[in-house]
């Protein structure tokens, strides 16, 4: 493609466009950007930042989008003048490089709703990351490709005066919804590229009548009408539970729900790999091979075997691989309308049931609150488990008010008759530090019973504080673990007063958080009873 058609121009830098996986790996190795692991994956480090930098994420504030944005801590404003100044500085930084890498791809497996994305990076491994995560453009479509969105990743740019660009620190992830451009400076964490396009989709798709979702999705291999969604924040099990050997994987993180069904936003998966084992998660383990990218994973210097148990570099170790590397991936990554929608919550208070069925009003209530827990030690100053409420299980990626997305979910659940479930992948028998985390085997059994339709036919009892419908029996799981009130220290019936006190404490936190939203009386009534 001629340079005149590019949305950005480069001076002395040599532009490498749409290189093969092998070429990008070879260049990354020759430039000292990473090492080749024994399993064939490219191992890279992200430097100072080993996760997203939400406090350094900004949105250009323009008249055209201002009224549509939920301004605040997540959506921080930067002026058009500051945006243009940062963009110019980032391009000048890339212009001075010997090499610049370009990747062209799609976001959205459904051609009706996809966005065209061009990614410009100074690191070869970042281009490989983009090639792995986004949907690659077929050669026949490349001559007519013209980007809707452009990412300019000047990760090595050093900012000495952040205020000059309207930033807080030397790091900036600055996005313009009108100019459809993302500028990244000061951080090598590759996930910023991925999430910036998801943020863009979360703004653009509702105008197309599509509900954007932070969820994983799979479908029964023999019954294409049996589609399931798994909503959840990081660490709650989206990727793990959707990688099911008996079902086809549509995607592990980002999807759209249109009038035709569900489609994956991405062409790859971005999985946590701390404590990864072949026995526990064989699908992910087997997907780590040549063409995959390992981030911040410790590797033996002699054998080059990854040590997935080590958090020496970061707790948030990651692996990126094409969705096609999952043996049972569904290609193209599209499916019908979901029969089951599962909300995942890692409750460190130890009070939520391991599985419960939600009414339509409860579904909207728990979707808006988007609850999971922060654990002691995960952040400075966190000494006790703290509730973490993230609207729609994806608050950091939502430009519009949460109610926009909640109403889209409610409409689709009603229209297509989907069952909605709350699955606690957190603690039982007491809070974090006292009780134990639910066995993954039990959680997988709950998912199996949800997806085969048997759990919807079970008998249920009502939780006295949260009002949730708890099954009284689930084949393959001991009945005594189903009601958390009976599992606290001492066995069935023991220490129920302590349980009730802790459950009431969490219920009050839900009620405090709900004040952020303009819920109907019916939805408010579906919340905890305090």
Report the distance separating Cα 340 and Cα 416, nearest Å.
Answer: 10
Q: Which of 82, 93, 318, 330 is catalytic?
A: 318
* 49 catalytically annotated: no
Q: How would you classify the pairing of strands 76-78 and 57-60?
A: parallel
Q: At what angle do helices 124-133 and 21-30 cross, to 10 degrees?
A: 150
238 catalytic per annotation: yes
Tokens found for residue 411: 């409409």
* CA dihedral sign, ordered 445, 446, 450, 455: positive
d(CA 240, CA 309): 17
What letter does residue 134 receive in the DSSP assignment? S
Judged by DSSP in three states, 27 sits in: helix
Q: Strand 247-251 relative to strand 211-220: parallel, antiparallel, unpaired?
A: antiparallel
Catalytic residue among 204, 248, 253, 347: 253
- Among 127, 236, 239, 425, the one annotated catalytic: 239
DSSP H or E segment with residue 523 = helix 521-525
Given the residues 57, 82, 114, 195, select the one marked as catalytic: 195
User: Helix or strand or coil: residue 425?
Assistant: coil
Q: Is residue 195 among the annotated active site residues?
A: yes
What H or E segment, with its residue span, contains residue 373?
Answer: strand 371-374
Active-site hit among 214, 337, 357, 463: 214
Nearest to 390 by CA among 412, 410, 373, 377: 373
**Of the residues 49, 50, 52, 320, which is catalytic?**
52
Of 506, 332, 357, nearest to 423 (Cα)? 357
Using DSSP's 3-state secondary structure scheme, residue 408 falls into: helix
Helix 360-369, helix 402-416: angle, nearest 10: 150
- Whether 114 sits among the annotated catalytic residues: the reply is no
CB 344 within 8 A of CB 241: yes
Among 234, 310, 324, 504, the active-site one is 234
Q: How far apart are CA 417 and CA 423, in angstroms?
A: 19
Closest CA to 57 of 192, 197, 253: 192
Q: How many CA atoms are closer than 13 Å to the CA of 193, on its beta-carbon side?
A: 32
Phi, psi dihedral angles at 276 (to 5 degrees): -65, 135
Residue 465 to residue 486: CA distance in whole angstroms: 14
Q: Which residues are catalytic?
A: 52, 195, 214, 234, 238-239, 253, 318
């Amino acid at each position: 493609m001629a340079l005149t058609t590019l949305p950005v121009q480069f001076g002395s830098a040599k532009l490498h466009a749409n290189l093969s996986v092998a070429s990008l790996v070879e260049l990354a190795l020759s430039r000292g950007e990473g090492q080749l692991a024994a399993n064939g994956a490219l191992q890279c480090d992200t430097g100072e930042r080993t996760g997203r930098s939400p406090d350094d994420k900004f949105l250009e504030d323009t008249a055209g989008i201002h009224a549509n944005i939920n301004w605040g801590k997540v959506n921080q404003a930067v002026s058009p003048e500051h945006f243009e100044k940062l963009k110019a500085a980032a391009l000048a930084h890339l212009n001075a490089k010997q090499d610049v890498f370009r990747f062209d791809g799609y976001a959205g497996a459904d051609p009706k709703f996809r966005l065209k994305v061009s990614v410009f990076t100074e690191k070869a491994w970042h281009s490989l990351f983009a090639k792995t995560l986004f949907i690659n453009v077929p050669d026949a479509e490349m001559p007519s490709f013209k980007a809707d969105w452009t990412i300019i990743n000047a990760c090595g740019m050093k900012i000495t005066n952040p205020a000059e660009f309207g930033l807080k620190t030397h790091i900036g992830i600055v996005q313009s919804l009108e100019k459809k451009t993302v500028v990244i400076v000061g951080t090598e964490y590759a996930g910023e590229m991925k999430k910036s396009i998801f943020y863009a989709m979360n703004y653009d798709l509702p105008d197309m009548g599509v509900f954007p979702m932070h969820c994983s999705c799979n479908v029964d291999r023999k019954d294409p009408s049996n589609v399931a969604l798994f909503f959840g924040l990081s660490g709650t099990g989206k990727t793990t539970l959707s990688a099911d050997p008996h079902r086809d994987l549509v995607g592990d993180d980002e999807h759209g729900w249109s009038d035709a069904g569900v489609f994956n936003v991405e062409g790859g998966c971005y999985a946590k790999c701390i404590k990864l084992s072949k026995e526990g998660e064989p699908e992910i383990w087997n997907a780590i091979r040549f063409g995959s990218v390992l981030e911040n994973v410790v590797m033996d210097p002699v054998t080059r075997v990854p040590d997935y148990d080590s958090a020496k570099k970061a707790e948030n170790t990651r692996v990126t691989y094409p969705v096609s590397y999952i043996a049972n991936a569904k290609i193209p990554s599209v499916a019908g309308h979901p029969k089951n929608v599962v909300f995942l919550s890692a409750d460190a208070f130890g009070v939520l049931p391991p599985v419960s069925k939600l009414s339509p009003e409860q579904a909207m209530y728990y979707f808006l609150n988007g609850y999971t827990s922060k654990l002691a030690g995960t952040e400075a100053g966190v000494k006790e488990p703290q509730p973490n409420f993230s609207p729609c299980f994806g608050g950091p990626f939502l430009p519009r008010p949460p109610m926009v997305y909640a109403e889209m979910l409610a409409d689709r659940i009603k229209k297509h008759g989907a069952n909605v479930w709350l699955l606690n992948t957190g603690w039982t028998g007491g809070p974090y530090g006292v009780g134990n985390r639910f066995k993954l085997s039990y959680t997988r059994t709950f998912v199996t019973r949800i997806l085969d339709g048997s759990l919807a036919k079970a008998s249920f009892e009502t939780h006295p504080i949260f009002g949730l419908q708890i099954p009284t029996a689930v084949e393959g799981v001991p009945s005594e673990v189903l009601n958390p009130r009976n599992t606290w220290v001492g066995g069935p019936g023991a220490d129920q007063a302590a349980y009730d006190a802790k459950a009431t404490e969490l219920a009050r936190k839900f009620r405090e958080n709900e004040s952020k939203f303009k819920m109907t009386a019916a939805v408010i009534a579906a919340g905890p009873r305090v």
